[in-house]
Amino acid sequence: MKYTPTIGIECHVQLCTKTKLFSEVDNDARGKEPNSCVSPVDYALPGMLPRLNGEAVRLCILAGRAMNCEINAISRFDRKHYFYPDSPKGYQITQFYQPIIGAGFVELPSGTRVRINHAHLEGDAGKLTHFDTYSLVDFNRVDTPLIEIVSEPDIHSAHDAHDYAKELWRLMCHAGITYGDLYNGNMRFDVNVSIAPEGSDELGTRAEVKNLNSFRSVERAVEYEIKRQSKLLDAGEKVVQETRGWNDATGETTGQRSKEEAKDYRYMPEPDLPPLHLSNEFIETESKKLPMMPRDYREKFGGIIKEDILEILLDYPSLMIKLNEIDEKYITLVSNLFASVLLAEEKSAEYLNDLPTSKQLSDLAEMNDKKELSSTATKEVFLKMFDPQMKGKDAKAIAKELGVIQENDLGALEAIVDTVLKKPETQKAQEDFRNGEEKVIGFLVGQVMKESHGKANPSAVQEILRKKLS
Amino acid sequence: MKTANKTVTAVRLVEDALKKAHEFEDYNIFTFIDDEGALARAREIDARIAAGEDVGRLAGVPYALKDNFLTPRGETTASAHILQGFSSPVTATAVEKLEKEGAIMIGRTNLDAFAHGSSTENSYFGPTLNSHDKERVAGGSSGGSAVAVALDIVEFATGTDTGGSIRQPASFNGIYGLKPTYGCISRYGVVAMASSTDCIGFFTKTPDDMNLLMEIASGKDSKDLTTLDDYYNDSEIKKAKKIGVIKDFDNDSVAPEIRKALKDKCDLLKSKGYEIVEVEMPALKYALAAYYIIVPAEITSNLSRYDGVRYGFRSEDSKDLEKLYANTRDEGFMPENKRRIMIGNFVLSSGFYDAYFLKAAKVRTLIVQEYEKAFKACDFLLTPVAPNPAFKLGEKVNDPVAMYLEDMMSVSLNLAGVPGLAIPAGETAEGLTLGLQLVGPRRSDKSLIEFSKELI
């Protein structure tokens, strides 16, 4: 039988605030000792009370706006209870009843719209490491601010699930609310997959695959679930509503616990945090701080940058911000340098955090435009801009240092051409050209280039040669 | 308040207090007496006084700290086994404020474990005895603090009041005990019982001492988002004219001595020209039921952190995580703690939330409204604190419902967030102290304390 899959995705995004959601300790535990970023509040000593990080609230407004969502003027916090050593308080502070971010939508590059049901603000849990006879717990991640974005079940293919996850990641990165490092769990996806016979009005029983941390695994897990569930239904069996885990190595999902034995979280309003009231004015002021989003860039650069290149560059907000500062006439060149030179570099990740200034880039583009730099030299100068020795120097200075500025002075070029034409080794080629052998012009240009130590502008050289040999 | 100066030194004040504390050891008032620490601090304060420094409004005044306030001095136990060995790295805001004015903590006082109780009999360290009759309970949960003040060991002690835990022991021991407006004093660093009703307050011998302590301890704290702005020190004293008595409490469930004490005080007020009005507050009969849903729910949540993983007591020989939790909590909590944890979990369970917790929250709103209405008809209310004077040790400890009924007149204030001041109101023929409570609208704490002088 043919089935229509229906997919909804929940996504946890860690916010890149300076401090934690409910305390003043450092939120960025990257490269730090376990349990070194923990306050008495995070550690849940007796009598400790949460304070609310205003920066997290601001980032929520940006995240919401990035997804075209309403921001709720009043939101509240609730306690979600469970016992596990990664949860010092014995509950997670979350927003169960009244979340801060309301309904909205995300538009995929294909034009498909995925509606957002809501997104809520909550604290992350700690991390457990298991050994043979004991486990260790690291509380550094406790109460790192998270938003959980809950989509409507508007996705109907593994491909769209992939694109949604990726677009969400891009939106959050462009909004500047997360470091967006998937490998380190800055964004994690839970996918809810069900299938129903084609044309049916009713949705099938869903299974939830939890904790996916790449777009590819989102896609593969959905594919796997569609196949698994189709097989079950084809065989006349039923899909069980359950939580499943994903094994990236085998490419399979496996059952973990069914909803019947699911925990009762005993939600309760958080009495230590008063309701969060946001004035319209505050929401509007903060909303205006939303940087350019992929949709804005597509609109602005759609006609200038080739679509496939633009889609690549959209993965890198810092590149897009930089491009946005560049004069329109140089956009094509700079975007090509970004896409085909910078991103091809081994150290590109490092370079992305330390880009040349827009002035450096514009000067470089201008030199290229004026034919002072060949395309090879342009790339070379561009790369040198990331060299610690050269950093901060302007394009011209680097080009000079490298000795790659092209000779465009026609008088000087003519002199070089004359020298070359007098050389015995070029005589045969000259004769051949005169006899109509077009391709030897390349050899002659090459000789001139050699004589000029590569600084001559090849097209100008060719022009002079043609004139002289005619 | 007797403060230290160049002639009467802090060391002298502290030595006197410590001497009495040891003298009354059979009352089981303290979970920890800090002889050395208190004397060291007294010497330090004397040195500052000698140097001509202004040490503060409580210079060298010894006080007793209910053992659910966090300070690095001694273990903070909340009189519970599960906190055994817990020494706090942080100091409660209220303690910080008192000590900044020169007060000296001489010891930590006994309470019902985690403040769950009305007699201090639920303490892991055993009950504290009543200051007027050693066969009777001190009241609770702040029993140790109340007796420490009543026996003149210290001039003041701290307490916490979630449903009467300051006012009831104050009245059982014949002293003043204030439960301020909710949010008046920071809860930061005080072991939480029920976050939405917990209030920090004091026991004193006089209204003026109470006022002084409130001036010092009240105010906004960035570490407790539920604290109110600094209204206390800016409050204008309200001149009261009409005093209300609650008709619904005037019945046989209240002991005759207490009804008589109330009548006597009303007569006194009338003789001073005040008008006594009767107010009806029918919703108050639901207060106890609502309280014993909302409060256990918050208790169950607030006690979740005591799991034996990070600090305090951990049961040995637990083979897996589930056993570790179960054994630690089974051995670490007192029966009353467990009772409340179970009630709390029940009312929060999926399927029961609406029927219990949500309904109780609605009753709470009704109670808030009923107090607002009452304070349109009168300036303050004068009511009993508890239906009976101090009862015998062991009399109610095995009958939880009888014990909960002791709270019927005190809990509604906590649900409504309004202040209540327990005042001494005479003695029974047997010499047991009687107390009444003055209740005012939110933020009327200062006027309430001032007005209580009319009842002396």
CB-based contact B348 A268, cutoff 8 Å: yes
DSSP at A282: H
pLDDT for res A415: 85
Task: Identify the three-state secondary structure at position A46.
Answer: coil
A36 forms beta bridges with none
B111 has a chain A CB within 8 A of its CB: no
What sign does the dihedral B203-B207-B209-B214 (CA atoms) show?
Answer: positive
End-to-end alpha-carbon separation of chain B, Å? 18
What lies within 8 Å, CB to CB, of A195 at 6+ separation is A3, A4, A5, A6, A204, A226, A229, A230, A233, A239
DSSP at A25: S
A209 vs chain B: nearest CA distance in angstroms? 24
pLDDT for res B296: 98
HSE-CB at A383 with a 13 A cutoff on CA atoms is 16
Strand residues in A50-130 grouped as ranges (E)? 74-75, 78-81, 91-94, 104-107, 113-123, 127-130
The pLDDT tens digits of the residues spanning B122-131 come to 999 999 999 9
Q: Span B72-89, mean pLDDT?
A: 97
Cβ contacts (< 8 Å) between A46 and chain B: which residues? 68, 70, 76, 78, 83, 86, 88, 191-192, 305-306
The pLDDT tens digits of the residues spanning A417-467 come to 888 889 888 888 888 888 888 888 889 888 888 888 877 888 888 888 888
CB-based contact A49 B222, cutoff 8 Å: no
Q: Span B304-331, mean pLDDT?
A: 95
pLDDT for res A104: 98
Question: Considering only CA atoms, which of A101, A96, A100, A141 is closest in space to residue A123?
Answer: A141
* Chain A residues in contact with chain B using a Cβ-Cβ cutoff of 8 Å: 40, 43-52, 79, 81, 83, 85, 88-91, 137, 264-268, 271-274
Whether B145 sits among the annotated catalytic residues: the reply is no
- Buried b or exposed e, range B115-150, using 16+ CB within 10 angstroms: bbbbbbbbbbbebbbbbbbeebbbbbbbbbbbbbbb
CB-based contact A45 B70, cutoff 8 Å: yes
Bigger pLDDT: B318 vs B63: B63
Say how far apart CA A43 and CA A311 lie, in whole Å. 43
Say how far apart CA A216 and CA A195 lie, in whole Å. 20
Whether B412 sits among the annotated catalytic residues: the reply is no
The ipTM of this complex is: 0.96
Superfamily name and number for B10-234: Amidase signature (AS) domain (3.90.1300.10)
CB-based contact B310 A91, cutoff 8 Å: no
B339 vs chain A: nearest CA distance in angstroms? 17
The pLDDT tens digits of the residues spanning A127-178 come to 999 999 899 999 999 999 999 999 999 999 999 999 999 999 999 999 999 9
Q: At what angle do helices B93-100 and B207-217 cross, to 10 degrees?
A: 110
Whether B165 sits among the annotated catalytic residues: the reply is yes
Cβ contacts (< 8 Å) between A273 and chain B: which residues? 225
What sign does the dihedral B303-B309-B311-B317 (CA atoms) show?
Answer: positive
Q: Span B444-451, mean pLDDT?
A: 98
Q: What's CA A420's distance to the chain center, in Å?
A: 52
Q: Is the pTM of this model over 0.95?
A: no
Domain boundaries of chain B, sorted by first residue: 10-234
Say how far apart CA A256 and CA A241 lie, in whole Å. 11
Q: Which residue of B has its CA nearest to A273?
A: B225
pLDDT for res A44: 98
Q: What percent of chain B is predicted at pLDDT more than 70?
A: 100
A83 vs chain B: nearest CA distance in angstroms? 8
Say how far apart CA B349 and CA A265 lie, in whole Å. 8
pLDDT for res A257: 64
pLDDT for res A400: 87
Catalytically annotated residue among B119, B123, B165, B171? B165
Say how far apart CA B94 and CA B84 lie, in whole Å. 23
Of A103-112, A414-423, B302-311, B325-334, the range with the lowest mean pLDDT is A414-423
Strand (E) or helix (H) holding B99: helix B93-100
pLDDT for res A448: 87
Bigger pLDDT: B325 vs A389: B325
Say how far apart CA B370 and CA B380 lie, in whole Å. 14
B191 has a chain A CB within 8 A of its CB: yes
CB-based contact A90 B194, cutoff 8 Å: no
Catalytically annotated residue among B119, B123, B131, B141? B141
pLDDT for res A450: 86
Say how far apart CA B332 and CA B325 lie, in whole Å. 10
pLDDT for res A404: 82
pLDDT by residue for chain A (470 residues), tens only, comes to 899 999 999 999 999 999 999 999 999 988 899 999 999 999 999 999 999 999 999 999 999 999 999 999 999 999 999 999 999 999 999 999 999 999 999 999 899 999 999 999 999 999 999 999 899 999 999 999 999 999 999 999 999 999 999 999 999 999 999 999 999 999 999 999 999 999 999 999 999 999 999 999 999 999 999 999 999 999 999 999 999 999 999 999 998 865 555 679 999 999 999 999 999 999 999 999 999 999 999 999 988 999 999 999 999 999 999 999 999 999 999 999 999 999 999 888 889 988 999 999 999 999 999 888 888 889 999 999 998 888 889 999 998 888 888 777 777 888 888 888 898 888 888 888 888 888 888 898 888 888 888 778 888 888 888 888 87
In chain B, what is the greatest distance between 2 CA atoms, to the nearest angstrom?
Answer: 71
Task: Identify the three-state secondary structure at position A244.
Answer: strand
What sign does the dihedral B443-B444-B446-B448 (CA atoms) show?
Answer: negative
Instruction: Name all domains of chain A by residue range, CATH numbers in brackets.
Output: 3-281 (no CATH), 292-402 (no CATH), 410-469 (1.10.10.410)
